[in-house]
Copies of this chain bind each other. A is one copy, B any other.
């Protein structure tokens, strides 16, 4: 489980937007699993958040995770 405790209990969300927010969370945990030091992450964040290429890459990862979450919720159809 690592140092992050329990952070992913279910793939189910009430709305697509909450699903998108979960996709963001999954994407960040992917980064954190490689670099768990929060101080390092804070330090490199500006470099990242001001670079259009990196921002697009971040959106790409969220899109892949959102795909997974959307299927898990049957696209919030019902």
Contacts and interface: CB of A to CB of B under 8 A. Distances in A.
B52 A54 contact: yes
A38 interface: no
A31 B56 contact: yes
How many chain A residues sit at the interface, stated as a range, is: 35 or more
Nearest to A28: B59
Oligomeric state, in number of copies? Answer: 6
A30 B58 contact: yes
Contact of A57 (B9, B29, B53, B70): B53
Contacts of A29: 20, 59
Contacts of A2: 21
Contact of A47 (B27, B52, B75): B52
